[in-house]
Structure 1
Protein backbone atom coordinates (compact mmCIF):
# COMPACT_ATOMS: atom_id res chain seq x y z
CA UNK A 1 0.00 0.00 0.00
CA UNK A 2 1.14 3.53 -0.78
CA UNK A 3 -0.04 6.89 0.44
CA UNK A 4 0.90 10.24 -1.04
CA UNK A 5 1.36 12.00 2.30
CA UNK A 6 0.74 11.74 6.03
CA UNK A 7 -2.59 13.48 5.42
CA UNK A 8 -3.50 10.82 2.88
CA UNK A 9 -2.62 8.09 5.40
CA UNK A 10 -4.68 9.48 8.28
CA UNK A 11 -7.63 10.47 6.09
CA UNK A 12 -7.80 7.49 3.73
CA UNK A 13 -5.68 4.78 5.32
CA UNK A 14 -7.80 3.72 8.24
CA UNK A 15 -7.47 0.08 7.12
CA UNK A 16 -3.68 0.39 7.42
CA UNK A 17 -4.07 1.73 10.97
CA UNK A 18 -6.88 -0.57 12.06
CA UNK A 19 -4.77 -3.38 13.54
CA UNK A 20 -1.72 -2.96 15.73
CA UNK A 21 0.86 -2.88 17.02
CA UNK A 22 2.05 -0.37 14.43
CA UNK A 23 5.68 0.50 13.65
CA UNK A 24 6.43 3.92 12.15
CA UNK A 25 9.87 4.02 10.50
CA UNK A 26 11.04 7.50 9.51
CA UNK A 27 13.67 7.51 6.76
CA UNK A 28 16.14 10.35 7.27
CA UNK A 29 18.30 8.78 4.55
CA UNK A 30 18.43 5.37 2.90
CA UNK A 31 21.19 3.87 5.07
CA UNK A 32 20.15 0.36 6.19
CA UNK A 33 16.53 1.14 5.41
CA UNK A 34 15.76 -2.39 4.22
CA UNK A 35 17.36 -4.02 7.27
CA UNK A 36 15.40 -1.70 9.56
CA UNK A 37 12.11 -2.64 7.92
CA UNK A 38 12.91 -6.37 7.98
CA UNK A 39 13.92 -6.27 11.63
CA UNK A 40 10.61 -4.79 12.72
CA UNK A 41 8.59 -7.09 10.48
CA UNK A 42 10.38 -10.02 12.12
CA UNK A 43 9.40 -8.73 15.57
CA UNK A 44 5.76 -9.26 14.66
CA UNK A 45 4.38 -5.76 14.12
CA UNK A 46 1.03 -6.02 12.33
CA UNK A 47 1.84 -2.97 10.20
CA UNK A 48 5.25 -1.50 9.41
CA UNK A 49 4.75 1.98 7.95
CA UNK A 50 7.73 3.63 6.29
CA UNK A 51 7.61 7.41 5.90
CA UNK A 52 10.15 8.28 3.22
CA UNK A 53 10.87 10.56 0.26
CA UNK A 54 9.52 9.49 -3.11
CA UNK A 55 13.08 9.14 -4.42
CA UNK A 56 14.02 6.45 -1.88
CA UNK A 57 13.68 2.81 -2.87
CA UNK A 58 13.23 -0.35 -0.84
CA UNK A 59 13.74 -4.00 -1.72
CA UNK A 60 10.85 -5.05 -4.00
CA UNK A 61 10.41 -8.06 -1.75
CA UNK A 62 9.22 -5.72 0.98
CA UNK A 63 6.64 -3.90 -1.13
CA UNK A 64 3.74 -6.13 -0.16
CA UNK A 65 4.69 -6.10 3.54
CA UNK A 66 5.39 -2.41 4.14
CA UNK A 67 2.98 0.52 3.97
CA UNK A 68 4.82 3.35 2.21
CA UNK A 69 3.99 6.99 2.94
CA UNK A 70 5.65 9.78 0.98
CA UNK A 71 7.31 12.29 3.27
CA UNK A 72 10.30 14.60 2.94
CA UNK A 73 13.40 13.47 4.86
CA UNK A 74 12.24 13.42 8.44
CA UNK A 75 13.29 16.45 10.43
CA UNK A 76 12.32 16.74 14.07
CA UNK A 77 9.21 18.87 13.73
CA UNK A 78 7.79 16.92 10.79
CA UNK A 79 8.39 13.61 12.51
CA UNK A 80 6.70 14.73 15.76
CA UNK A 81 3.74 16.10 13.79
CA UNK A 82 3.39 12.83 11.85
CA UNK A 83 3.37 10.72 15.03
CA UNK A 84 0.75 12.98 16.59
CA UNK A 85 -1.45 12.78 13.52
CA UNK A 86 -1.26 8.98 13.56
CA UNK A 87 -2.15 9.04 17.27
CA UNK A 88 -5.33 10.90 16.38
CA UNK A 89 -6.19 8.43 13.63
CA UNK A 90 -5.47 5.22 15.55
CA UNK A 91 -6.88 5.52 19.10
CA UNK A 92 -6.30 2.45 21.21
CA UNK A 93 -3.48 1.08 19.07
CA UNK A 94 0.03 0.40 20.34
CA UNK A 95 2.48 2.47 18.28
CA UNK A 96 6.26 2.36 17.98
CA UNK A 97 8.38 4.93 16.16
CA UNK A 98 12.02 4.99 15.09
CA UNK A 99 14.37 6.18 12.35
CA UNK A 100 16.19 4.09 9.76
CA UNK A 101 19.27 2.25 11.06
CA UNK A 102 17.52 1.83 14.43
CA UNK A 103 16.51 -1.59 15.75
CA UNK A 104 14.10 -2.34 18.59
CA UNK A 105 14.99 -5.01 21.14
CA UNK A 106 12.91 -6.07 24.11
CA UNK A 107 13.44 -8.88 26.64
CA UNK A 108 13.31 -12.33 25.02
CA UNK A 109 12.41 -10.86 21.60
CA UNK A 110 14.12 -13.80 19.88
CA UNK A 111 11.33 -16.13 21.02
CA UNK A 112 8.40 -13.83 21.81
CA UNK A 113 6.56 -11.41 19.54
CA UNK A 114 5.96 -7.73 20.08
CA UNK A 115 2.26 -8.52 20.46
CA UNK A 116 2.90 -10.98 23.28
CA UNK A 117 5.13 -8.52 25.09
CA UNK A 118 2.64 -5.66 24.80
CA UNK A 119 -0.23 -7.90 25.94
CA UNK A 120 1.70 -8.58 29.15
CA UNK A 121 2.59 -4.90 29.54
CA UNK A 122 -1.08 -3.96 29.10
CA UNK A 123 -2.12 -6.46 31.77
CA UNK A 124 0.15 -4.56 34.15
CA UNK A 125 -1.96 -1.46 33.39
CA UNK A 126 0.83 0.27 31.51
CA UNK A 127 0.13 2.39 28.42
CA UNK A 128 3.72 3.30 27.52
CA UNK A 129 7.21 1.83 27.74
CA UNK A 130 10.51 3.53 28.44
CA UNK A 131 13.22 2.74 25.89
CA UNK A 132 16.92 3.52 25.96
CA UNK A 133 18.55 4.57 22.70
CA UNK A 134 21.76 2.52 22.71
CA UNK A 135 24.35 3.90 20.31
CA UNK A 136 25.86 1.51 17.79
CA UNK A 137 28.95 2.35 15.72
CA UNK A 138 31.30 0.65 13.29
CA UNK A 139 34.50 -0.72 14.78
CA UNK A 140 36.64 0.59 11.90
CA UNK A 141 35.78 4.00 10.45
CA UNK A 142 38.36 3.49 7.73
CA UNK A 143 36.33 0.64 6.26
CA UNK A 144 33.00 2.23 7.21
CA UNK A 145 33.35 6.02 7.01
CA UNK A 146 29.63 6.55 7.64
CA UNK A 147 30.08 4.68 10.97
CA UNK A 148 27.50 2.03 10.02
CA UNK A 149 28.26 -1.69 9.86
CA UNK A 150 25.87 -4.43 10.89
CA UNK A 151 28.65 -7.01 10.82
CA UNK A 152 31.15 -4.98 12.89
CA UNK A 153 28.77 -3.05 15.14
CA UNK A 154 29.97 -2.11 18.60
CA UNK A 155 28.33 -0.54 21.64
CA UNK A 156 29.46 0.85 24.99
CA UNK A 157 29.26 -1.64 27.85
CA UNK A 158 29.38 1.08 30.52
CA UNK A 159 29.18 4.83 30.99
CA UNK A 160 25.40 5.13 31.40
CA UNK A 161 23.79 7.11 34.19
CA UNK A 162 20.54 8.80 35.23
CA UNK A 163 19.64 12.10 36.84
CA UNK A 164 16.41 13.20 38.47
CA UNK A 165 14.04 14.85 36.03
CA UNK A 166 13.09 18.23 37.48
CA UNK A 167 9.62 19.74 37.30
CA UNK A 168 10.07 23.35 36.20
CA UNK A 169 6.45 24.07 37.15
CA UNK A 170 6.97 22.85 40.73
CA UNK A 171 10.12 24.57 42.02
CA UNK A 172 12.26 22.03 40.11
CA UNK A 173 11.21 19.19 42.39
CA UNK A 174 11.97 15.69 41.05
CA UNK A 175 9.18 14.25 38.97
CA UNK A 176 7.61 11.03 40.22
CA UNK A 177 9.18 7.92 38.61
CA UNK A 178 10.90 9.92 35.89
CA UNK A 179 14.63 10.15 35.18
CA UNK A 180 16.82 11.61 32.45
CA UNK A 181 19.25 9.01 31.10
CA UNK A 182 22.64 9.68 29.53
CA UNK A 183 25.49 7.70 28.02
CA UNK A 184 26.90 6.35 24.79
CA UNK A 185 28.29 8.61 22.06
CA UNK A 186 26.23 11.59 23.16
CA UNK A 187 28.02 11.46 26.51
CA UNK A 188 31.53 10.69 25.25
CA UNK A 189 31.37 13.33 22.50
CA UNK A 190 29.10 15.77 24.31
CA UNK A 191 31.06 18.78 23.03
CA UNK A 192 29.59 18.05 19.60
CA UNK A 193 26.01 17.45 20.80
CA UNK A 194 23.61 20.25 21.82
CA UNK A 195 22.63 19.99 25.48
CA UNK A 196 18.96 19.36 24.74
CA UNK A 197 19.83 16.34 22.55
CA UNK A 198 22.10 14.47 24.97
CA UNK A 199 19.43 12.34 26.66
CA UNK A 200 19.11 8.74 25.50
CA UNK A 201 15.66 7.95 26.91
CA UNK A 202 12.71 7.78 24.55
CA UNK A 203 9.10 6.72 25.07
CA UNK A 204 9.20 4.71 21.86
CA UNK A 205 6.26 2.37 22.55
CA UNK A 206 2.88 3.68 23.66
CA UNK A 207 -0.86 3.19 23.35
CA UNK A 208 -2.59 5.97 21.42
CA UNK A 209 -5.53 7.77 23.00
CA UNK A 210 -7.55 10.87 22.09
CA UNK A 211 -5.72 14.10 22.83
CA UNK A 212 -2.33 12.49 23.52
CA UNK A 213 0.62 14.49 22.15
CA UNK A 214 4.25 13.55 21.63
CA UNK A 215 6.65 16.38 22.49
CA UNK A 216 9.93 17.23 20.73
CA UNK A 217 12.00 15.60 23.49
CA UNK A 218 10.26 12.23 22.87
CA UNK A 219 8.10 12.48 26.00
CA UNK A 220 4.32 12.90 26.19
CA UNK A 221 1.99 15.52 27.61
CA UNK A 222 0.49 12.81 29.85
CA UNK A 223 3.14 12.52 32.58
CA UNK A 224 2.25 8.93 33.47
CA UNK A 225 3.38 7.92 29.98
CA UNK A 226 6.85 9.24 30.84
CA UNK A 227 7.38 7.08 33.93
CA UNK A 228 9.79 4.15 33.92
CA UNK A 229 7.55 1.92 36.02
CA UNK A 230 4.28 1.74 37.89
CA UNK A 231 4.13 2.50 41.62
CA UNK A 232 4.13 -1.09 42.88
CA UNK A 233 6.95 -2.84 41.00
CA UNK A 234 9.41 -2.58 38.14
CA UNK A 235 8.09 -2.88 34.57
CA UNK A 236 9.51 -3.93 31.25
CA UNK A 237 11.76 -1.55 29.36
CA UNK A 238 13.17 -1.83 25.84
CA UNK A 239 16.23 -0.72 23.88
CA UNK A 240 16.43 1.00 20.51
CA UNK A 241 19.86 0.10 19.15
CA UNK A 242 20.77 2.97 16.87
CA UNK A 243 23.46 4.09 14.41
CA UNK A 244 21.79 7.50 14.22
CA UNK A 245 24.16 9.43 16.50
CA UNK A 246 27.26 7.84 14.97
CA UNK A 247 26.05 8.77 11.48
CA UNK A 248 25.37 12.34 12.55
CA UNK A 249 28.75 12.79 14.23
CA UNK A 250 30.56 11.58 11.11
CA UNK A 251 28.48 13.75 8.77
CA UNK A 252 28.55 16.96 10.78
CA UNK A 253 31.40 19.21 9.54
CA UNK A 254 32.05 20.32 13.10
CA UNK A 255 32.75 16.82 14.41
CA UNK A 256 33.69 14.47 11.57
CA UNK A 257 37.38 15.45 11.38
CA UNK A 258 37.72 15.46 15.17
CA UNK A 259 36.70 11.81 15.52
CA UNK A 260 39.12 9.17 14.22
CA UNK A 261 37.39 6.28 16.00
CA UNK A 262 34.41 5.70 18.25
CA UNK A 263 36.18 2.82 19.97
CA UNK A 264 37.42 3.02 23.56
CA UNK A 265 38.28 0.56 26.32
CA UNK A 266 34.60 -0.06 27.07
CA UNK A 267 33.61 -0.88 23.47
CA UNK A 268 32.35 -4.42 22.88
CA UNK A 269 30.95 -6.14 19.78
CA UNK A 270 27.17 -5.97 19.56
CA UNK A 271 25.77 -9.51 19.56
CA UNK A 272 22.32 -8.59 18.13
CA UNK A 273 20.65 -10.45 20.99
CA UNK A 274 18.47 -9.29 23.86
CA UNK A 275 20.49 -11.30 26.40
CA UNK A 276 23.50 -9.00 25.95
CA UNK A 277 21.35 -5.91 26.54
CA UNK A 278 19.78 -7.49 29.64
CA UNK A 279 23.20 -8.47 31.00
CA UNK A 280 24.47 -4.92 30.51
CA UNK A 281 21.43 -3.46 32.27
CA UNK A 282 20.27 -1.65 29.14
CA UNK A 283 16.73 -2.96 29.48
CA UNK A 284 14.62 -4.46 32.25
CA UNK A 285 12.46 -7.61 32.12
CA UNK A 286 10.29 -6.54 35.05
CA UNK A 287 7.99 -9.40 36.07
CA UNK A 288 8.08 -11.01 32.61
CA UNK A 289 10.06 -14.22 32.43
Structure 2
Protein backbone atom coordinates (compact mmCIF):
# COMPACT_ATOMS: atom_id res chain seq x y z
CA UNK A 1 0.00 0.00 0.00
CA UNK A 2 1.06 3.58 -0.63
CA UNK A 3 0.31 6.46 1.72
CA UNK A 4 0.51 10.19 1.08
CA UNK A 5 2.36 11.03 4.29
CA UNK A 6 2.97 9.84 7.84
CA UNK A 7 -0.40 11.09 9.08
CA UNK A 8 -2.19 9.19 6.30
CA UNK A 9 -0.38 6.00 7.25
CA UNK A 10 -1.11 6.35 10.96
CA UNK A 11 -4.78 6.87 10.17
CA UNK A 12 -5.26 4.26 7.45
CA UNK A 13 -2.33 1.82 7.63
CA UNK A 14 -2.65 0.37 11.10
CA UNK A 15 -3.04 -3.18 9.76
CA UNK A 16 0.69 -3.16 9.04
CA UNK A 17 1.38 -2.39 12.70
CA UNK A 18 -0.47 -5.29 14.26
CA UNK A 19 2.28 -7.90 14.45
CA UNK A 20 6.01 -7.51 14.93
CA UNK A 21 8.82 -7.43 14.31
CA UNK A 22 8.38 -4.44 12.02
CA UNK A 23 11.19 -2.95 9.93
CA UNK A 24 11.31 0.76 9.14
CA UNK A 25 13.54 1.69 6.19
CA UNK A 26 14.34 5.40 6.05
CA UNK A 27 15.21 6.35 2.47
CA UNK A 28 17.57 9.31 2.20
CA UNK A 29 18.45 8.88 -1.49
CA UNK A 30 17.70 6.41 -4.29
CA UNK A 31 20.78 4.19 -3.83
CA UNK A 32 20.21 0.44 -3.20
CA UNK A 33 16.69 0.85 -1.89
CA UNK A 34 15.27 -2.31 -3.45
CA UNK A 35 18.12 -4.55 -2.24
CA UNK A 36 17.77 -3.12 1.24
CA UNK A 37 14.04 -3.88 1.27
CA UNK A 38 14.50 -7.42 -0.07
CA UNK A 39 17.28 -8.18 2.41
CA UNK A 40 15.14 -7.28 5.40
CA UNK A 41 12.11 -9.09 4.07
CA UNK A 42 14.22 -12.24 3.83
CA UNK A 43 15.21 -11.90 7.48
CA UNK A 44 11.62 -12.49 8.53
CA UNK A 45 10.16 -9.11 9.43
CA UNK A 46 6.36 -9.30 9.50
CA UNK A 47 5.95 -5.83 7.98
CA UNK A 48 8.30 -3.47 6.16
CA UNK A 49 7.56 0.26 6.26
CA UNK A 50 9.42 2.34 3.69
CA UNK A 51 9.62 6.09 4.26
CA UNK A 52 10.75 7.47 0.92
CA UNK A 53 10.60 10.47 -1.41
CA UNK A 54 8.00 10.40 -4.17
CA UNK A 55 10.62 10.01 -6.92
CA UNK A 56 11.57 6.54 -5.74
CA UNK A 57 10.51 3.87 -8.24
CA UNK A 58 10.13 0.25 -7.16
CA UNK A 59 8.97 -2.87 -9.02
CA UNK A 60 5.21 -3.33 -8.72
CA UNK A 61 5.63 -6.76 -7.13
CA UNK A 62 7.93 -5.41 -4.44
CA UNK A 63 5.79 -2.35 -3.81
CA UNK A 64 2.80 -4.61 -3.21
CA UNK A 65 4.62 -6.28 -0.31
CA UNK A 66 5.47 -3.17 1.69
CA UNK A 67 3.83 -0.12 3.20
CA UNK A 68 5.25 2.90 1.43
CA UNK A 69 4.92 6.27 3.13
CA UNK A 70 5.88 9.49 1.34
CA UNK A 71 8.37 11.30 3.53
CA UNK A 72 11.37 13.61 3.18
CA UNK A 73 14.09 12.09 5.34
CA UNK A 74 16.33 15.13 4.81
CA UNK A 75 14.13 17.26 7.07
CA UNK A 76 15.50 18.23 10.47
CA UNK A 77 14.57 15.70 13.12
CA UNK A 78 13.19 13.23 10.58
CA UNK A 79 14.54 10.21 12.45
CA UNK A 80 12.88 11.17 15.72
CA UNK A 81 9.61 12.17 14.05
CA UNK A 82 9.23 8.90 12.17
CA UNK A 83 10.45 6.44 14.80
CA UNK A 84 8.72 8.12 17.74
CA UNK A 85 5.44 8.30 15.81
CA UNK A 86 5.57 4.56 15.10
CA UNK A 87 6.53 3.82 18.72
CA UNK A 88 3.50 5.76 19.93
CA UNK A 89 1.23 3.91 17.51
CA UNK A 90 2.56 0.44 18.34
CA UNK A 91 3.07 -0.16 22.07
CA UNK A 92 4.65 -3.52 22.95
CA UNK A 93 5.80 -4.33 19.41
CA UNK A 94 9.40 -5.05 18.38
CA UNK A 95 10.65 -2.47 15.89
CA UNK A 96 13.78 -2.04 13.79
CA UNK A 97 15.01 0.88 11.74
CA UNK A 98 17.77 1.49 9.23
CA UNK A 99 18.55 3.68 6.23
CA UNK A 100 18.71 2.61 2.59
CA UNK A 101 21.93 0.84 1.53
CA UNK A 102 22.12 -0.70 5.01
CA UNK A 103 21.83 -4.41 5.72
CA UNK A 104 21.14 -6.09 9.06
CA UNK A 105 23.16 -9.17 10.01
CA UNK A 106 22.84 -11.09 13.27
CA UNK A 107 24.34 -14.36 14.51
CA UNK A 108 23.20 -17.31 12.39
CA UNK A 109 20.86 -15.12 10.30
CA UNK A 110 21.33 -17.45 7.32
CA UNK A 111 19.36 -20.17 9.13
CA UNK A 112 17.42 -18.32 11.84
CA UNK A 113 14.87 -15.52 11.58
CA UNK A 114 14.90 -12.16 13.28
CA UNK A 115 11.82 -13.29 15.17
CA UNK A 116 13.74 -16.21 16.66
CA UNK A 117 16.49 -13.85 17.82
CA UNK A 118 13.95 -11.53 19.41
CA UNK A 119 12.21 -14.44 21.14
CA UNK A 120 15.50 -15.47 22.72
CA UNK A 121 16.23 -11.90 23.80
CA UNK A 122 12.83 -11.72 25.49
CA UNK A 123 13.62 -14.93 27.37
CA UNK A 124 16.64 -13.05 28.72
CA UNK A 125 14.32 -10.19 29.74
CA UNK A 126 15.85 -7.80 27.23
CA UNK A 127 13.82 -5.13 25.41
CA UNK A 128 16.58 -3.94 23.10
CA UNK A 129 19.39 -5.36 20.97
CA UNK A 130 22.50 -3.28 20.40
CA UNK A 131 23.71 -3.03 16.81
CA UNK A 132 27.04 -1.83 15.47
CA UNK A 133 27.04 0.11 12.21
CA UNK A 134 29.87 -1.41 10.18
CA UNK A 135 30.96 0.76 7.28
CA UNK A 136 30.99 -0.80 3.82
CA UNK A 137 32.73 0.82 0.85
CA UNK A 138 33.60 -0.01 -2.73
CA UNK A 139 37.18 -1.14 -3.18
CA UNK A 140 37.58 0.80 -6.43
CA UNK A 141 36.31 4.37 -6.26
CA UNK A 142 37.21 5.04 -9.89
CA UNK A 143 34.81 2.33 -11.04
CA UNK A 144 32.26 3.13 -8.30
CA UNK A 145 32.59 6.87 -7.57
CA UNK A 146 29.62 6.91 -5.17
CA UNK A 147 31.50 4.28 -3.08
CA UNK A 148 28.63 1.78 -3.35
CA UNK A 149 29.04 -1.68 -4.85
CA UNK A 150 27.52 -4.90 -3.54
CA UNK A 151 29.97 -6.97 -5.59
CA UNK A 152 33.08 -4.97 -4.59
CA UNK A 153 32.12 -4.28 -0.98
CA UNK A 154 34.89 -3.99 1.62
CA UNK A 155 35.00 -3.36 5.36
CA UNK A 156 37.60 -2.69 8.02
CA UNK A 157 38.63 -5.87 9.81
CA UNK A 158 40.15 -4.00 12.78
CA UNK A 159 40.40 -0.51 14.26
CA UNK A 160 37.30 -0.62 16.47
CA UNK A 161 37.29 0.51 20.09
CA UNK A 162 34.99 1.64 22.90
CA UNK A 163 35.06 4.38 25.52
CA UNK A 164 33.05 4.73 28.71
CA UNK A 165 29.87 6.72 28.24
CA UNK A 166 29.64 9.58 30.74
CA UNK A 167 26.55 11.08 32.33
CA UNK A 168 26.03 14.79 33.05
CA UNK A 169 28.23 14.48 36.18
CA UNK A 170 31.05 12.83 34.17
CA UNK A 171 30.38 9.49 35.84
CA UNK A 172 30.50 6.36 33.65
CA UNK A 173 27.05 5.02 32.87
CA UNK A 174 26.38 1.42 33.85
CA UNK A 175 26.76 -1.08 30.98
CA UNK A 176 26.96 1.66 28.38
CA UNK A 177 29.86 2.37 26.04
CA UNK A 178 30.46 4.61 23.04
CA UNK A 179 31.80 2.55 20.13
CA UNK A 180 34.01 3.90 17.36
CA UNK A 181 35.76 2.64 14.24
CA UNK A 182 35.45 2.28 10.49
CA UNK A 183 35.36 5.27 8.17
CA UNK A 184 34.04 7.58 10.89
CA UNK A 185 37.26 6.94 12.81
CA UNK A 186 39.71 6.95 9.89
CA UNK A 187 38.25 10.10 8.35
CA UNK A 188 37.11 11.76 11.56
CA UNK A 189 38.28 15.19 10.39
CA UNK A 190 35.33 15.14 7.97
CA UNK A 191 32.80 13.81 10.50
CA UNK A 192 31.17 16.02 13.19
CA UNK A 193 32.08 14.74 16.67
CA UNK A 194 28.45 13.99 17.52
CA UNK A 195 28.21 11.58 14.55
CA UNK A 196 31.37 9.52 15.02
CA UNK A 197 29.85 6.75 17.13
CA UNK A 198 28.94 3.50 15.41
CA UNK A 199 26.58 2.04 18.02
CA UNK A 200 22.85 2.16 17.39
CA UNK A 201 19.96 0.58 19.32
CA UNK A 202 18.19 -0.39 16.12
CA UNK A 203 16.13 -3.34 17.43
CA UNK A 204 13.86 -2.63 20.38
CA UNK A 205 10.45 -3.24 21.89
CA UNK A 206 8.18 -0.21 21.87
CA UNK A 207 6.37 0.97 24.96
CA UNK A 208 4.38 3.95 26.14
CA UNK A 209 6.57 6.99 26.68
CA UNK A 210 9.64 5.59 24.91
CA UNK A 211 11.44 8.17 22.77
CA UNK A 212 14.45 7.96 20.48
CA UNK A 213 16.94 10.82 20.56
CA UNK A 214 18.99 12.37 17.79
CA UNK A 215 22.09 10.38 18.79
CA UNK A 216 20.23 7.05 18.27
CA UNK A 217 19.85 6.48 22.03
CA UNK A 218 16.61 6.25 24.02
CA UNK A 219 15.18 8.10 27.01
CA UNK A 220 15.05 4.77 28.89
CA UNK A 221 18.69 4.17 29.85
CA UNK A 222 18.27 0.39 30.10
CA UNK A 223 17.56 0.32 26.36
CA UNK A 224 21.01 1.83 25.77
CA UNK A 225 22.94 -0.91 27.57
CA UNK A 226 24.98 -3.47 25.68
CA UNK A 227 24.01 -6.36 27.97
CA UNK A 228 22.10 -7.33 31.07
CA UNK A 229 23.75 -7.43 34.50
CA UNK A 230 24.49 -11.15 34.64
CA UNK A 231 26.04 -12.04 31.25
CA UNK A 232 26.66 -10.87 27.70
CA UNK A 233 23.71 -10.67 25.30
CA UNK A 234 23.27 -10.94 21.56
CA UNK A 235 24.51 -8.05 19.47
CA UNK A 236 24.04 -7.51 15.74
CA UNK A 237 25.63 -5.55 12.89
CA UNK A 238 24.19 -3.16 10.35
CA UNK A 239 26.51 -3.22 7.36
CA UNK A 240 26.17 0.22 5.84
CA UNK A 241 27.32 2.20 2.81
CA UNK A 242 25.86 5.37 4.37
CA UNK A 243 29.09 6.95 5.61
CA UNK A 244 31.03 6.10 2.45
CA UNK A 245 28.29 7.68 0.33
CA UNK A 246 28.33 10.83 2.43
CA UNK A 247 32.12 11.20 2.35
CA UNK A 248 32.19 10.91 -1.45
CA UNK A 249 29.16 13.15 -1.92
CA UNK A 250 30.42 15.95 0.32
CA UNK A 251 32.55 18.50 -1.60
CA UNK A 252 34.60 19.07 1.54
CA UNK A 253 35.84 15.47 1.67
CA UNK A 254 35.45 13.82 -1.73
CA UNK A 255 38.63 15.28 -3.26
CA UNK A 256 40.70 14.24 -0.22
CA UNK A 257 39.74 10.59 -0.62
CA UNK A 258 41.12 8.57 -3.54
CA UNK A 259 40.38 5.24 -1.89
CA UNK A 260 38.85 3.92 1.31
CA UNK A 261 41.05 0.82 1.26
CA UNK A 262 43.96 0.45 3.68
CA UNK A 263 46.03 -2.41 5.09
CA UNK A 264 43.17 -3.51 7.35
CA UNK A 265 40.55 -3.68 4.59
CA UNK A 266 39.03 -6.98 3.53
CA UNK A 267 36.31 -8.06 1.15
CA UNK A 268 32.88 -8.35 2.71
CA UNK A 269 31.57 -11.91 2.36
CA UNK A 270 27.90 -11.07 3.06
CA UNK A 271 27.77 -13.75 5.76
CA UNK A 272 27.26 -13.53 9.51
CA UNK A 273 30.18 -15.86 10.26
CA UNK A 274 32.67 -13.30 8.96
CA UNK A 275 31.26 -10.65 11.29
CA UNK A 276 31.37 -13.10 14.22
CA UNK A 277 34.96 -14.07 13.43
CA UNK A 278 35.98 -10.40 13.33
CA UNK A 279 34.28 -9.72 16.66
CA UNK A 280 31.83 -7.24 15.12
CA UNK A 281 28.87 -8.91 16.84
CA UNK A 282 28.42 -11.75 19.29
CA UNK A 283 25.84 -14.49 19.97
CA UNK A 284 25.86 -14.14 23.74
CA UNK A 285 24.25 -17.30 25.14
CA UNK A 286 22.45 -18.08 21.84
CA UNK A 287 24.01 -21.16 20.26
TM range (shorter): over 0.9
Query: Which one of 251, 254, 260 corresponds to residue 253 of structure 1?
Result: 251
Could you state the TM-score of these two structures normalised by the residue count of structure 2? 0.99
Q: Quick check: 1:53–1:71 contact (8 Å CA) kept in 2?
A: yes
CA RMSD of aligned residues (A): 0.8
Q: Deviations over 1:141-184 (max 9, x none)?
A: 0000000000000000000000000011xx21000000000000
CA contact (8 A) 2:25 2:50 kept: yes
The 5 A counterparts of 1:145-224 are: 145-168=145-168, 171-224=169-222
Counterpart of 1:98?
98
Q: 1:100 to 1:123 in 2, by over 3 A?
A: same
**Structure 1 counterpart of 2:16:** 16
The alignment partner of 1:85 has SS state of helix
Gaps of 5+ in 2: none
The match for 1:122 is 122
What CA deviation, in whole Å up to 9, does each residue of 1:9-54 have, x standing for no partner?
2222211111110000011011000000000000000001100011
Task: State the Cα distance separating 1:100 from its structure 2 match.
Answer: 0.2
CA distance, structure 2, for counterparts of residue 109 and residue 84 of structure 1: 27
Alpha-carbon distance in 2 for matches of 1:278, 1:2: 38
Q: CA deviation at 1:63?
A: 1.5
Q: Give 1:238-249 correspondences, 5 Å limit.
A: 238-249=236-247
What TM-score results when the alignment is normalised by the length of structure 1? 0.98
Distance in structure 2 (CA, Å) of the matches to 1:207 and 1:176? 20
Aligned length, in residue pairs: 287
Instruction: Please list, as runs of the form range in 1=range in 2, the aligned pairs for 1:63-74 lying within 5 A after superposition.
Output: 63-74=63-74
Which 4+ stretches in 1 moved above 3 angstroms? 73-76
Partner of 1:272: 270
Aligned partner of 1:229 in structure 2 is 227
Q: Matched residues in 1 for 2:231 and 2:248: separation? A: 41
Corresponding residue SS for 1:98 = strand
Within 2, Cα distance between the matches of 1:134 and 1:78? Answer: 22
Structure 1 unaligned residues grouped into runs of 5+: none
1:73 to partner: Cα distance:
3.5
Map of 2:28 onto structure 1:
28
C-alpha contact 1:27 1:74 (8 A) present in aligned 2: no
Q: Distance in 2 between matches of 1:162 and 1:15?
A: 41
The answer on whether the counterparts of 1:76 and 1:216 sit within 8 Å (CA) in structure 2 is no
